[in-house]
Amino acid sequence: MEKILQELVTRYPVLESSLPDIRRAGEMLCGTFDAGNTLFVCGNGGSGADAEHIAGELLKSFVLDRPVTPLQRAALAEYGEDGAYLIQSLERGLPCISLLSHPGYATAFGNDVEPKLVFAQQLFALGRKGDLLMGLSTSGNAENIRQAMIVAKISGIRSILLTGAGNGKCAGYADLTVHVPETETFKVQELHLPVYHALCMIAEKHAFGGE
């Protein structure tokens, strides 16, 4: 972890002040996956695209190869050519669900019930004690993320907020807030990307780096 974090601040010196909280977020992420639990991610607009990006880095290989295990290889080998194809192509993933990824549900619930609770309802239905919620909000005031964090609180789910330099309403509900030292939306998003890339790399190397 320390090597990854040092490289991060070498490339982005402005993130030096954020380093202790980024380190703690990495520890929370690794602990969640070690326990066999799931990361849920959410955001709006560009931050929603970032949430999808995070899920993409975790569900497949990022910087390391993640081949199937010997036991999985042996089980797949029984399926002949299909098994060989799967052995060659499948990659182990880390369980991550983007709460942006269910448009049928989101449009139905938003239209029929309450659009501000689209993330909260999914977490209420899918989340389990020990899971982790990561919300990205450049202002820290996204109401749909705040409501999801309330659901996390009553469900035994820890939460991380990635935000800018301000203290938005969501920070009061998150177990950990990672601030980046910018306030303009696009500048905050520009710094969120290297932060979550570092977190994904930390989680991947923790899970697969010893192989």
Q: Could you read off the pLDDT tens digit of each residue along the chain, which spans 211 residues?
A: 999 999 999 999 999 999 999 999 999 999 999 999 999 999 999 999 999 999 999 999 999 999 999 999 999 999 999 999 999 999 999 999 999 999 999 999 999 999 999 999 999 999 999 999 999 999 999 999 999 999 999 999 999 999 999 989 999 999 999 999 999 999 999 999 999 999 999 999 999 997 6
Within-domain flag for 81 = no
Q: What is the pLDDT of residue 151?
A: 98
- Per the structure, how many domains does the chain have? 1
What does pTM read for this prediction? 0.95
Q: For residues 96 and 199, what is the distance between their CA atoms, to the nearest angstrom?
A: 13
Q: What is the pLDDT of residue 211?
A: 66
Within-domain flag for 82 = no
Within-domain flag for 80 = no
Q: For residues 177 and 170, what is the distance between their CA atoms, to the nearest angstrom?
A: 9
User: Which residues on adjacent β-strands are paired with residue 179?
Assistant: 163
Q: What is the pLDDT of residue 119?
A: 98
Residue 18, domain extent: 2-65+93-208
Q: What is the pLDDT of residue 64?
A: 96
Q: Give, in order, the Cα–Cα distances in Å from 38 to each of 79, 116, 132.
A: 30, 23, 6
Within-domain flag for 196 = yes
Q: For residue 45, what is the domain's CATH number?
A: 3.40.50.10490
Q: For residues 117 and 106, what is the distance between their CA atoms, to the nearest angstrom?
A: 9
Q: For residues 121 and 119, what is the distance between their CA atoms, to the nearest angstrom?
A: 6
Within-domain flag for 180 = yes
In a 3-state reduction of DSSP, which class is residue 205?
Answer: helix
